[in-house]
Chain A
Amino acid sequence: MVDLRSGFKILGTVIVRELHRLVSRPIYILCLIVAPLISCIFLLTLMDKGLPERLPTAVVDLDHSTASRNFIRQLNSLSLIQVVEQPNSFTEARESLQRGQIYGFLVIPESFEAKAMAGRQPELSFYTNNGYYIPGALLYKGFKTMSVLASGAIVQQTLLAHGQYGYEITPKLQPIVPDVHALGNPWLNYSVYLNNTFIPGMLQLLILLTTVFSIGSEIKHGTSREWLAKSHNSIILAITGKLLPQTVIFFVVGALCQSLLYGYWHFPLHNGIWPMLSAMLLLVIASQSYAVIMMSIAPSLRIGLSMAGLFGIISISITGFSFPVPAMYSPFRLLTNIFPLRHYFLIYADQALNGIPLYYSRIQYLALFLFALASLPLLPRLKKALQRQIYVP
């Protein structure tokens, strides 16, 4: 066994060796620094507006009356909606929808005004293209608001004509008012909801791939025995020396992404940066540990990378920040627990978005910590593979 002092010395030489490898190939620079940062900036600038505004919409006005034109003007004044065309028939509007020029349309029936005045209940109908999820949902909201308001305006007129006072009318129109508080994200900012987890997800994917690649290419290029020899045949020192520089770089890049999220873009961060930074550090190490596990199970570069890619891509879906975990089928509900990103997402929701006491995130931190240690029992297996040094194309 090596003593502590010479252990550090050996570690130092392995780290230096790894640093030389990292700077010798542009692909490492790309995966360690360029790709995560480009992805981060791409996603943040893409959704800079937070919520799409002025969705292209059409109104089929079959009435052509003062009331219908007034209604269209009111609809257009919503920040959500922009009436870009006024087709003459339902069919024309539908074709426009199929061409993707609009995301939805509203039909004002014939003799809308006359019927409304006479109390014969003209029906407004609106059509939204829910093949596009966000625009569909937003348009539905806008159309519904305007339709309810149109009803309200008529009731108001009627009640005024009946001689009621203005202050009596509002409670009649809407006796119970729901006052909905969107905790932590009152702007319903789509970027806040998505990028807080999606960007770490991208980072995790790149960590998995890079780690697998850096271990696997030692086997492929026949340098793994030399690597082990340099670390005095200690797999712990070999792996630590190899992964430590990458840990540091990935953590710095991750922290930079977080600083963009919480510093530059001012996303909600209720408990300060430390809980998130520590979650990021744990996510980086846990992902590296998963990559080591993959290489230990299948010490082939291509199979390892296939697993890393599959795991990294799927974890973004299975984490359940877009489609919630309780709604998934039960095997996926169980499976989601072994994904580091899932726990990072829960920590983010608790610590950054909702700002609840650290105590409630303890299980998540613990899970990430255990994932980081999970590769240790498999290291002897990896060592054997490194000694065998067999490349499978």
Chain B
Amino acid sequence: MKISILKEQLKTGFLDICYIWRKEYITVFRDFGALIFFLALPFAYPLLYALIYNPEVVRDVPMVVVDNARTPLSRELARNMDASPNAKIVSYCANMEEAKELMYRKECYGILLIPEDFSKKLVRGEQSPVMFYSDMSIMLNYKGFLMAITDVTMDLGAKLQVETLGGATPEQISMATSPVPYSSITMYNPESGFGSFLIPAILVLILQQSLVLGIGLLAGGVYEHKKLHHYYSGRERIHNNIIHIVLGKAICYYSIYIVPTVFILHVVPWIFSFPQIGNQWEIYAFMAPFLFASIFFSMTLSVFVRERETSFLLFVFTSLLFLFISGITWPYYAMPEFWKIIGTMIPSTWGIQGFVGINTAGGTIDDVHESFIWLWVLTGFYFVTTCLVYRYQIYKDKKRGFKGNLVLTDEV
């Protein structure tokens, strides 16, 4: 007897969820604004970002040389600098004033100054310094210059060392110049590309933020046009179960997001050949709680939206903050405690860390289990807050006098 009642209740509940699900589909697909957020935005933004960052690396940054030594050796140094992939000599200046002028006019971003006594010192067996001045407005330029000048001076220095050895065998030479050789392997982003590092984070963030904006927009519309009663009137027989509303809506958004997720996490990296060594199914399995957490996160936040369009004002700027708090640019461990705690509460933080761990670094869900668990915790947490928020809104709505069995019309 009891079991059949339970069965009956489950059936009613399930049907109720499906009812809300279907209703929400109608709402979404009749709302052009929401469709843009759910479908157009996740398709357009990744492509735009990928195109901006697709060149990945900076090559041949313009620089000038002020060669006061004018010896074969100083010319060789300048030539080697020009030959390195990172720098390109655009001019040989007569003095520093001329070089500075070129830098002011942004025709170059670095100046190599070779002092008069450059070769003299070397022949005398003294250390011979060369000066490099780098513009610091763009860190990548500086990084390129630094690597180039370090490598070039080390190589030339090694060559000079060899000359002093006189008659040594190649083996002796390599032993004398580098007794402990080293090799550097850059993992997961072999060319140290800027896009390969930033895009995975942006992709995950786009998923979350488009949900936040779209769900905010829908909620704003409901609030503005006082349509909330559509969600509870006519459902009194199951006591207006809040959980059904929340679940029904969430399933609707979730099912809509399957296509954008596949596109963003699979097709975009494939088109632009971003590092993707993780197992695709692991990624999708990992994204399941991320999507749920983001959906409930968005539904909770949507309580602050009082008008369709304020969704933009409230949430667009947070995208940039969420990107930083995720720890992809500024390492997570080096953040102040306070921001770490805030970051823990944002699904994208764990989404980005986990996605980078699986997609870029080829880990498994087990490797990123911390993020995976946190996403489920956030799913649970935001599910509860969403229920509370909806309960509160419906309570207030009823108090304002929208109670009753309104006839449901097609006008949603």
Cβ B184 vs Cβ A177 within 8 A: no
Question: B161 near A172 (CB under 8 angstroms)?
Answer: yes
Interface size classification for chain A: 35 or more
Interface string of A47-68 (1 = CB under 8 A from B): 1110011011000000000000
CB pair A172 B179 closer than 8 Å: no
Whether B127 lies near A170 (C-beta < 8 A) is yes
Question: Interface extent on B, as a size class?
Answer: 35 or more
Tell yes or no: A200 within 8 A of B by CB. no
Set of chain A residues within 8 Å of B106, measured between Cβ atoms? 346
Cα of A329 to Cα of B54 in the assembled complex, Å: 8
Residue contact A202 to B317, C-beta cutoff 8 Å:
yes
Which of A52, A131, A348 sits near B356, CB closer than 8 Å? Answer: A131
**Chain A facing B: main interface SS:** helix
A47 with B330, Cβ < 8 A, contacts A128-B186, A313-B319, A345-B137 known: yes
A175-B138 contact given A180-B146, A327-B58, CB 8 Å threshold: no
Known: A98-B357, A309-B312, A393-B33. A126 touches B136 (CB 8 A): no
**A99/B336 in contact, CB under 8 A:** no
Given A43-B324, A131-B189, A314-B48; A183-B314 close (CB under 8 Å) = no
Contact A133 B331 (CB under 8 A): no
Determine whether the beta carbon of A154 is less than 8 Å from that of B180.
yes
Partner of B186, one of A52, A130, A172, A350: A130
B146 and A312: CB pair below 8 A? no
Contact flag A98-B197 (CB < 8 Å), given A31-B313, A46-B335, A329-B55: no
**Inter-chain contact A135/B189, CB cutoff 8 Å:** no
Whether B180 and A147, one on each chain, are in contact in the complex, defined by CB atoms closer than 8 angstroms, is yes
Q: How far is the CA of A322 from the CA of B330 in the complex (A)?
A: 13
Name the distance in Å between A43's Cβ and chain B's nearest Cβ: 7
Residues in B neighbouring A354, C-beta threshold 8 A: 135, 137
| Complex contact B319–A171 (CB within 8 A) | no
A98 to chain B, nearest CB (A): 4
Once bound together, how far apart are the Cα atoms of A257 and B222, in whole Å? 37
Cross-chain contact of A121 among B137, B146, B178 (Cβ < 8 A): B178
Number of residue pairs spanning A and B whose beta carbons lie under 8 angstroms apart: 320
Q: Quick one: CB contact mask for B347-385 with A, threshold 8 Å, 1 for yes?
A: 000000100110011110001101000000000000000
Q: B362 — which chain A residues lie within 8 A by C-beta?
A: 98
* Contact stretch, chosen from B150-158, B228-236, B394-402: B150-158
The distance from the CB of A40 to the nearest CB of chain B, in whole angstroms, is 11
Contact B140 A182 (CB under 8 A): no
In the complex, what distance in Å separates the CA atom of A128 from the CA atom of B156?
Answer: 27
**Interface contact A317-B336, CB-CB below 8 Å:** no
Chain A, residue nearest B112 (CB): A178
Q: Counting CB contacts under 8 A, is A174 at the interface?
A: yes
A183 x B136 contact (CB < 8 A): yes
Assess A155 versus B176: contact at CB under 8 Å? Given A317-B49, A324-B140: yes
Determine how close the nearest CB of chain A comes to the CB of B18; give it in whole angstroms: 27
Stretch at the interface among A7-15, A212-220, A368-376: A212-220
A194-212 CB contact bits vs B (8 Å, 1 = yes)? 0000100110011001100
Residues of A within 8 A of B324 (CB): 42-43, 46
Q: How far does the Cβ of B205 sit from chain A's closest Cβ, in whole Å? A: 11
Q: State whether the Cβ of A302 lies closer than 8 Å to any Cβ in chain B.
A: yes
